[in-house]
Amino acid sequence: MKLNPTDLSSFLAKDNRFKRAEALLTDQWESLLLSEPWGMTMMTRSDIVYAKALVASDAMTPTVDLTTFKGVQQFIQRNAVRLSPDVVTMLKEPFL
What's the CA gap between 51 and 60, in Å, rounded? 9
Dump pLDDT digits (tens) for 9-59: 999 999 999 999 999 999 999 888 777 665 668 899 999 999 999 999 999
CB-based contacts of 81, cutoff 8 Å, min separation 6:
none
Query: Is residue 1 exposed (0-12), middle (13-18) or buried (19+ Cβ within 10 Å)?
Result: exposed
Dump pLDDT digits (tens) for 72-91: 999 999 999 999 999 999 99
Question: For residue 1, what pLDDT is reported?
Answer: 82
Half-sphere exposure (CA, 13 Å, Cβ side) for 90?
A: 13
Question: For residue 48, what pLDDT is reported?
Answer: 96
- 8 has a pLDDT exceeding 70: yes
Question: For residue 84, what pLDDT is reported?
Answer: 93
Question: For residue 13, what pLDDT is reported?
Answer: 97
Say if residues 87 and 43 touch (Cβ distance below 8 Å). yes
SS3 category, 43:
strand
